[in-house]
Amino acid sequence: MTSQSMPQSAGAAGGIPPAGHHYELPRPVEAGREAAPPAIVTGEISAVNVRKSFGVTRALDGCTFSAHMGEIHAIVGGNGCGKSTLAKVLSGVLPIDGGQVSVLGHMPSNPHDARAQGIATVFQEVLVADECTLVDNLFLGADRLWTRSKSEREKVAAAHALMADLLGFEIDVQTLVGTLPLSVKQWITIGRALLTEPKVLILDESSAALDLDSTQRLFTKMRQLRDQGSAILIVTHRIAELIQISDRATVLRDGRDVGVLERQDITERNLLDLMTGKEAPAPISQLRAREVLGHELVMKTSGLALSRRGPGIDFALHKGEVVGLTGLDGQGQNEFIRALAGIQRAERETPAVRERDGTGFADIHGLADAARHGVVYVSGDRKKEGIFANLSIYENLLMPLYRRTARAGWLSVINRRALQGVFDWEIERLAVRMGARSNRITSLSGGNQQKVLIGRAFALSPEILLLNDPARGIDIGAKAELYKHLGAFAQRGKSVVYLSSEIEEFVGFCTRVLVFRHGTIFGEFTGSQIEPARILESMFGQGGASAGAQAGAGDAAAEEDAALRELRLLPPWMRAARLGGMGGTR
């Protein structure tokens, strides 16, 4: 383990030396701050004393970073620590205010320049054109105004082969991307980078929308690139993945590098110690499973089917319960939680929620029904289903409360004074790193944007929270705080349904975990049964299922086979559109 406090080298440095050489460069000393030790940097990819500000916000404050070709190097830190900013600086997207940057002996001045130097970046937001075809999205930026990189036939062949390799199943590359699920869109952005055969690949939270199986395929690609001599830089909050794949890890805090961990030192405790600057709390795997407060039923489904031929799902949510949902991508868990929220209609039956006065149950036919009965949904796809990108942080958090607090009768004047206390409370307890409240929400890091959406949900005083991958882009420290707030929420007699592909999140947090497979609940785990290994086995159809669940999954598999046969008879565009909803991995 190394850190900023490295031994001083004998040689002085005036610029970026050739790869393999060490040099030192004094950091600027500001008033009231002690001088930092000189930075010693080596590597084909380096940033020295880099400073970058956005208004009064210092995203990078004298950050130094170094990586080598032929390694997978993680960039880690809390939300707003400067990880994504550093990735954009290395990609030529952002100019720096001070310091030096060198990637393969050059300083990228813009994305086109970076691409010419062999740098490919997959950014945190899923950047696709929904109105264009899959093949067109893959080759965005590859062609010039008067020249083409490949013929149309060559592009289609290359796209077909690449996507089949990445997805694990074949897909019509002429389908419109807007009809595809988020996970496939994420693969398109990754595939776009891989098509350039990069010397340096930068992945900013690129596994956030992928399930466990897809993530392992991504890791295989990353290792292949590393073994061919490329450098892979990853920005991620998924600690288990980071430990598994990284050769080295650089930790950032408040815009500065605070330590570099070698492979053998990359552990959850070491990472948290460096990220927070204090001793890490006990790992979540050592926590006890949460207990249910009572047996009062607050939401249920009976025979709910997600597809025309799918099996019925019987589900019960109790007061004070935290239920985890998981499964491989496309197994129905995402559609199920959206059906509970009234966003997506089920093919058969509807969810029912207890009336607020406790007199009975009411069906949820849409978002209005859900909201009326205190059911609030938070999506992990904040760009498409969460934030209002052109509005301020304040408006994004409090807009749903405007009507509740309006005054002056029919004039409906927004009572901003009454709302200010709500805003301050949610921002403080969720530790959102932000500038002025009037700044656009897009001025925040992705993780802090997600915190604002969670704060919006809490501000609505819900009875039931439905969270669809809510921790996407949130650092491990913020996740622990989120678990604490959700636990306190459940202790007050409220209920939570929490969907995630990170099965480690469920340990010590959920009262039950439901594993989806083939469009139905395949396995159910409670108490001490909530172990990552057992959940993982169930995700792949091994053990952990009741006889009824296994029979249902078997019927679902047979129905899926029939549906796949039917798919082959459809025109290509319709086949591709339906494929995303079926999982299509068999």
Helix H, strand E, coil C: the string for 154-178 is HHHHHHHHHHHHHHCCCCCCCCEHH
DSSP structural state of residue 310: P
Q: Which residues contact 524 (CB under 8 A, 6 or more apart)?
A: 512, 513, 514, 515, 544, 546, 549
DSSP 3-state assignment of 48? strand
Burial (Cβ within 10 Å: 0-12, 13-18, ≥19) of residue 53: middle
The kind and range of the H/E element at 547 are helix 547-567
Q: 10 Å Cβ neighbour count for 7? A: 8
Burial (Cβ within 10 Å: 0-12, 13-18, ≥19) of residue 392: middle
Local mean pLDDT, 10-residue blocks, the chain (586 residues): 40 36 38 43 80 84 93 88 90 92 90 90 87 92 78 91 90 91 90 92 84 85 94 87 91 91 90 73 46 77 88 92 89 92 90 87 91 90 84 91 70 75 88 87 85 90 91 74 87 92 83 91 90 84 54 48 44 43 38
Residue tagged 């950047």 (tokens): 127
Do 286-374+462-582 and 1-118+231-280 have the same topology in CATH? yes
Pairing of strands 322-326, 375-379: unpaired
Amino acid 584: pLDDT:
39
From residue 314, how far is each of 131, 143, 285, 554 by CA, in Å? 37, 52, 29, 16
Q: How many CA atoms lie within 13 A of 124 on its CB side?
A: 24
Domain spans in the chain, listed from the N-terminal domain onward: 1-118+231-280, 286-374+462-582
Q: Per the confidence metrics, is the pTM higher than 0.75? A: no
Q: How big is the CA angle at 222 (ends 95 and 261), to the nearest 5 degrees? A: 70
Residue tagged 């690139």 (tokens): 225
What is the radius of gyration, based on Cα positions, of the chain?
A: 25
E-state strands within 450-529? 464-468, 495-499, 512-517, 520-526
CATH of domain 1-118+231-280: 3.40.50.300
Report the distance separating Cα 532 and Cα 536, nearest Å. 6
Q: Are 178 and 152 in contact (CB under 8 A)?
A: no
Amino acid 238: pLDDT:
78
Amino acid 127: pLDDT:
87
Q: Which residues contact 357 (CB under 8 A, 6 or more apart)?
A: none
Report the distance separating Cα 526 and Cα 528, nearest Å. 6
From residue 194, how far is each of 138, 158, 191, 560 by CA, in Å? 10, 11, 5, 32
Report CA 563 to chain centroid distance, whole Å: 31
Q: 286-374+462-582: which CATH number, 3.40.50.1370, 3.40.50.300, 3.30.1490.20, 3.40.50.10470?
A: 3.40.50.300
Amino acid 448: pLDDT:
86
> 547-567 and 572-582 helices cross at what angle (nearest 10)?
170
